[in-house]
C-alpha cells in the first residue's frame, strides 16, 4: 500500500472514531440582538447526547431562527493584502533564505492555534483545505451555481473560509465570538458534496463533513464565545474543568516552578479522586530530562490531595515541523546571537521547556537592529480564560528604516520621559534598559490575528532585569486603520474629517508610547526565593495609603499568575493610559514630526479615538455571563468610564436617533479640557493602576478594575442600551492576505495574492502544498486524540 493510501485510511478511521456533533442550533435573540440584525435561515436545530465513550451525536429537526449578525462575517468585510514586496526585494539572498525558513516554522506552528481554539476548528480547516486544493475559488463557483447557490451565498461561503483561515479557527481572534457561515446549512452541504474533492473521495469527505458540520453551525449558548466552564468553550482546559481547577493547577505549577505558557490542563476522575494531566507542547513525547535540568519536570505528583501528571507531546507533529525549519534557518543566521536564539527555540519546542524559550528570548534581546526580525512561541495569554496559557504565534518582518528612526529617538528620550509618569520613583525600574524599537513590514504573522504593535518577551523576570524589544508593524497600520467617512460611527460631522486625517498619525504615537513606555515602564516589588528584596521594605511608601507597602510578589509568583483573569486587560489599560498621558508632551509629538496646531490635532484625535473605542468596546461584552471577551476593548471601556467620571464636560456621550431613524449615539471630547481635567483624571487613575500592580495587591486591583469594567443600565448612561446601538452600527474588522515564500534553486521567490477572500484562500491552500496530505492527517489525529475531553 502506498503512503497516500495509508494516510487516506488513517484519516478516514480518525474521522469515523472522532465523529462528534453539537447541540441545539440557533437561538431566540434578545431585543438587543433583533435591532438592525439580519435574519439567517438555519435548516436544522440540533440536540445532543453523549454515549458512554464520550462521543456526541446530534438529532436534527427543522426550525427557523433569527441569528444575530455578530455571529457571521458580512459579505462586504474588508480584506487587504499586506504589502511587503519592496522590503523583501531589498533583502540579500542569505536574508531571504533566513526569512523563508522562519516563515515556514511560524506557519506550521500557527496550525496549533486550531487546536487551541475549539474542538471543531481542526476538522473544519482540513475539510476546507481538501476542497480548495482540488478547485480554486473561481472553479468552485461554477459548481456552487450548479448546486443551487446564489452569488451572494457563494460569496458568504468564501468569506467564512477566509475568516476561518485569518482567525485560525471559527472564533474571532478579536472578541472571541463564534462565527458561522452566512448561508443555509443545506446549501453548504450541497456545495461540499458537489465538490471535486468529495467526488474523488466520498467516504473520507462524508466522514469529515459529518465530524464538524453540526458544530460548525451550532449557536448553543455555551458555544457562542470562548470561556471556561459554563461561560464558554475552551480547549486550554478539558470540558469538565472550572475556575477552581485552573486556580489549583496554577498553584501546582508555581510549586514546581513551571510556567503555564505552553501547557494545557486535562481533568479526569480515577476512583473518586480528581486527577490532572498537565500537557507540555513538544515534539518529543518521551518524558525524558532536558539538557540542563537537574531532573525531569515530567512525572506524577501529589499536590493538595490531588494527582498531577506532567507529560510532553502536545501538538507533537506540528512542533517537529517547527523545529525542522528553525534548524534550516540557523544555516542562514546573520550572527551568533541569532544562531543561539534559534538553538534555544528548537530546544524549547523539542522538549517543551519554557526555560529554553526564555534563554532564546535573552539572545533575541541581544540581537540589536537585525534586518530580518522575528519572534516565535506560545506568547500571548489573551485567549486563555484564566490568563496564563499562551497562544502560538510567529512573525517574520523586515525593518522599515525611516520609521524606525523616529522610534529610536523615542527610546533615546525614554529616560527623560519616564519621570513624567505619575508614580513615585520607587515604583519605577531602577535602570531603564534601552530596547530595540523598530517599525517593521510584516512578511509573515502566523496565529489568530495580527496586532499593530508588540512589546515582548512577556517573561517578567527578563523584562524587569534584562530588557525587552518593541516593534510597530507599519504595513499593518497602513491598511488596518484606513477609514471611510461614511462608515465612521458615533462622531459629530465636524469631527469626521479631522479624525480621518489624523487617525493613523495619532495611532502611531499611541502605539509607540503604549509599547515602549506603557508595557516597558513600572517596577514589580519582589522578594525572591532567597528572601532578598528588590526594594527597601522599611522605606517605600504606598502613595495611595501613605503607609509602608505591605504586599509584594514572593518567590515564583508573577504578574500573570497573581492577577490571572484580569491581568491582560489590566496591563493593556495601564499601557493605554501611559499613551494618553505622555502624548500631551510636546517633545514626544515633535519626535513624530508633529508641532504647533498639528500636534494639538494629533492629541485631540488620539483622545477622541480612545473614548470612541471605549464605546465601541461594548460589542465585546457578554451580558449573560457579565464577562468581557477582548482585553484591549475592555481596557478602553474602562478608560471611557474614568474620563466620564472626571466630569466638567470633558467627555460627552448621548443617545440620539440616526438619519436612518434607528438608534445612534454621539461621543465628544472638549479639547480645551484635555490638558487639565483629562490629564488630572488619567494621572490619578494611572498611579493607582501601577501601585496596585507593583505591590501585588490583587484584591485592590480587582476591586478597582472590575468596578470600572461594570456594564449597567443605571446612572447617567444606560450602557446596556448603548450596547444594542453599538451592535446595530458595528463594522467587521479587516482581514489580511499574506504572501508566501518559495525556494527556487538558490533563490527565494515571494508569491503575493490579491486583497480578497479568494486571494486569502489561495494563499492558505498554496502555503502547505508540499506536505498537505500528511499535515491534514496529523491535524485530524490530534483532534481525535482529545475528542472525548470536550463532551
Contact 448, 168 (CB under 8 A): yes
- Kindly give the pairing relationship between strand 263-270 and strand 273-281: antiparallel
How far apart are alpha carbons 261 and 456 in whole angstroms?
14
Contact 267, 278 (CB under 8 A): no
How far apart are alpha carbons 711 and 735 in whole angstroms?
29
Residue 741 backbone class (left: φ over 0; alpha: ψ -120 to 50; beta: rest)? beta
How far apart are alpha carbons 591 and 570 in whole angstroms?
28
Burial of 194 (0-12, 13-18, 19+ CB in 10 A): middle
Grid cell for residue 374: 522575528
Contact 262, 378 (CB under 8 A): yes
Q: Compute the C-alpha angle 388/392/393, nearest 5°.
A: 125
Contact 242, 385 (CB under 8 A): no
Any idea which residues carry the catalytic annotation?
515
574: closest CA among 533, 629, 659, 515? 515
Q: Which residues pair with 312 in a beta bridge?
A: 280
Grid cell for residue 135: 478547485
769 DSSP 8-state letter: T
The sign of the torsion formed by the CA atoms of 88, 90, 96, 99 equals negative
525: closest CA among 428, 597, 454, 611? 428
Q: What angle separates helix 202-217 from helix 185-194, to the nearest 10 degrees?
A: 160
DSSP collapsed to 3 states, 342-396: HHHHHHHHHHCCHHHHHHHHHHHHHCCCCCEEEEEEEEECCCCCCCCCCEEEEEE
H/E element holding 741? strand 740-744
How far apart are alpha carbons 589 and 598 in whole angstroms?
9
Q: Which residues pair with 648 in a beta bridge?
A: none
In 401-456, which ranges are E strands?
436-446, 453-456
Q: Compute the C-alpha angle 345/467/581, nearest 5°.
A: 125
For 307, phi and psi rounded to 5 degrees?
Answer: -100, 125
Using CA atoms in the order 103, 396, 113, 7, what is the torsion angle rounded to 10 degrees?
A: 0
Q: Alpha helix locations (H) across 168-287? A: 185-194, 196-200, 202-217, 243-255
H/E element holding 407? helix 401-412
User: Which SS3 state, helix, strand or coil, does residue 633 take?
Assistant: helix
Contact 513, 588 (CB under 8 A): yes
User: Which SS3 state, helix, strand or coil, does residue 707 take?
Assistant: helix
User: Cα 53 to chain center, whole Å?
Assistant: 33
For 509, phi and psi rounded to 5 degrees?
Answer: -65, -45
- Kindly give the pairing relationship between strand 735-737 and strand 79-81: parallel
Q: Cβ of 743: how many Cβ atoms within 10 Å?
A: 14
Amino acid at each position: 500500500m502506498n503512503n497516500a493510501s495509508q494516510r487516506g485510511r488513517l484519516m478516514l478511521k480518525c474521522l469515523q472514531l472522532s465523529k462528534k456533533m453539537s447541540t441545539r442550533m440557533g437561538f431566540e435573540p434578545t431585543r438587543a440582538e433583533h435591532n438592525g440584525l439580519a435574519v439567517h435561515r438555519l435548516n436544522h436545530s440540533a440536540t445532543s447526547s453523549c454515549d458512554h465513550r464520550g462521543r456526541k451525536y446530534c438529532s436534527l429537526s427543522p426550525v427557523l431562527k433569527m441569528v444575530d449578525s455578530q455571529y457571521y462575517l458580512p459579505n462586504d468585510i474588508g480584506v487587504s493584502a499586506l504589502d511587503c514586496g519592496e522590503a523583501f526585494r531589498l533583502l540579500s539572498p542569505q536574508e531571504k533564505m533566513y526569512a523563508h525558513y522562519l516563515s515556514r516554522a511560524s506557519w506550521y506552528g500557527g496550525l496549533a492555534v486550531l487546536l487551541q481554539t475549539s474542538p471543531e476548528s481542526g476538522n473544519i480547516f482540513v475539510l476546507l483545505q481538501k476542497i480548495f486544493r482540488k478547485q480554486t475559488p473561481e472553479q468552485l463557483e461554477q459548481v456552487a451555481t450548479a448546486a443551487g447557490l446564489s452569488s451572494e451565498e457563494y460569496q458568504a461561503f468564501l468569506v467564512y473560509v477566509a475568516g476561518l483561515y485569518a482567525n485560525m479557527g471559527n472564533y474571532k481572534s478579536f472578541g472571541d465570538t463564534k462565527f458561522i457561515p452566512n448561508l443555509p446549512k443545506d446549501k453548504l452541504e450541497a456545495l461540499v458534496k458537489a465538490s471535486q474533492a468529495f467526488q474523488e473521495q466520498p467516504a473520507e469527505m462524508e466522514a469529515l463533513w459529518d465530524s464538524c458540520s453540526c458544530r460548525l453551525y451550532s449557536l448553543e449558548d455555551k458555544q457562542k464565545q470562548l470561556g471556561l466552564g459554563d461561560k464558554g468553550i475552551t480547549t486550554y482546559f478539558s470540558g469538565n474543568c472550572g475556575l477552581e481547577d485552573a486556580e489549583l493547577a496554577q498553584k501546582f505549577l508555581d510549586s514546581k516552578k513551571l510556567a503555564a505558557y505552553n501547557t494545557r490542563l486535562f481533568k479526569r476522575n480515577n476512583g473518586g479522586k480528581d486527577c490532572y494531566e498537565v500537557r507540555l507542547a513538544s515534539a518529543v513525547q518521551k518524558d525524558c530530562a532536558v539538557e540542563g535540568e537537574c531532573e525531569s519536570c515530567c512525572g506524577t505528583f501529589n499536590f493538595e490531595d490531588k494527582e498531577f501528571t506532567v507529560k510532553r507531546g502536545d501538538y507533537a507533529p506540528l512542533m517537529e515541523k517547527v523545529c525542522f525549519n528553525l534548524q534550516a534557518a540557523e544555516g542562514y543566521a546573520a550572527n551568533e546571537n541569532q544562531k543561539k536564539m534559534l538553538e534555544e527555540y528548537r530546544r524549547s519546542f523539542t522538549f517543551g521547556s519554557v526555560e529554553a524559550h526564555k534563554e532564546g528570548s535573552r539572545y533575541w534581546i541581544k540581537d540589536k537592529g537585525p534586518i530580518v526580525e522575528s519572534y516565535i512561541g506560545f506568547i500571548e495569554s489573551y485567549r486563555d480564560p484564566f490568563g496564563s496559557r499562551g497562544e502560538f504565534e510567529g512573525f517574520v518582518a523586515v525593518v522599515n528604516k525611516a520609521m524606525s528612526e523616529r522610534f529610536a529617538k523615542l527610546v533615546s528620550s525614554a529616560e527623560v520621559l519616564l519621570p513624567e509618569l505619575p508614580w513615585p520613583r520607587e515604583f519605577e525600574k531602577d535602570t531603564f534598559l534601552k530596547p530595540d524599537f523598530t517599525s517593521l513590514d510584516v512578511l509573515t504573522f502566523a496565529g489568530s490575528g495580527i496586532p499593530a504593535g508588540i512589546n515582548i518577551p512577556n517573561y517578567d523576570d527578563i523584562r524587569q532585569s534584562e530588557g525587552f524589544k518593541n516593534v510597530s508593524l507599519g504595513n499593518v497600520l497602513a491598511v488596518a486603520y484606513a477609514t471611510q467617512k461614511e462608515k465612521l460611527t458615533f462622531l459629530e460631522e465636524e469631527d469626521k474629517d479631522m479624525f480621518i486625517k489624523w487617525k493613523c498619525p495619532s495611532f502611531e504615537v499611541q502605539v509607540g508610547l503604549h509599547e515602549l513606555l506603557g508595557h516597558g515602564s513600572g517596577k514589580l516589588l519582589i522578594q525572591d526565593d532567597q528572601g532578598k528584596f528588590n526594594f527597601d521594605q522599611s522605606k517605600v511608601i504606598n502613595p495611595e495609603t501613605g503607609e509602608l507597602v505591605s504586599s509584594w510578589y514572593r518567590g515564583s509568583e508573577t504578574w500573570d499568575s497573581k492577577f490571572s483573569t484580569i491581568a491582560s486587560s489590566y496591563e493593556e489599560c495601564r499601557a493605554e493610559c501611559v499613551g494618553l498621558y505622555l502624548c500631551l508632551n510636546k517633545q514626544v509629538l515633535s519626535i513624530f514630526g508633529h508641532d504647533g496646531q498639528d500636534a494639538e490635532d494629533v492629541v485631540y484625535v488620539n483622545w477622541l479615538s480612545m473614548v470612541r473605542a471605549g464605546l465601541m468596546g461594548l460589542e465585546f461584552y457578554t451580558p449573560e455571563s457579565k464577562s468581557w471577551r477582548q482585553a484591549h476593548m475592555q481596557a478602553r471601556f474602562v478608560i471611557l468610564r474614568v474620563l466620564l467620571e472626571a466630569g466638567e464636560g470633558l467627555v460627552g456621550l448621548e443617545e440620539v436617533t440616526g438619519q436612518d431613524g434607528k438608534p445612534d449615539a454621539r461621543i465628544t471630547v472638549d479639547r480645551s479640557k484635555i490638558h487639565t481635567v483629562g490629564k488630572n483624571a488619567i494621572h490619578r487613575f494611572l498611579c493607582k493602576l501601577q501601585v496596585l500592580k507593583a505591590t501585588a495587591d490583587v484584591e485592590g486591583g480587582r476591586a478597582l478594575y472590575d468596578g470600572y469594567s461594570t456594564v449597567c443600565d443605571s446612572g447617567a448612561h444606560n450602557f446596556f442600551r448603548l450596547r444594542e446601538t453599538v451592535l446595530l452600527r458595528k463594522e467587521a474588522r479587516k482581514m489580511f492576505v499574506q504572501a508566501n515564500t518559495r525556494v527556487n534553486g538558490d533563490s527565494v521567490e515571494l508569491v503575493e495574492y490579491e486583497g480578497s477572500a479568494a486571494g486569502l484562500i489561495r494563499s492558505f491552500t498554496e502555503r502547505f502544498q508540499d506536505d498537505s496530505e500528511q499535515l491534514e492527517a496529523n491535524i485530524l489525529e490530534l483532534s481525535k486524540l482529545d475528542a472525548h475531553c470536550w463532551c
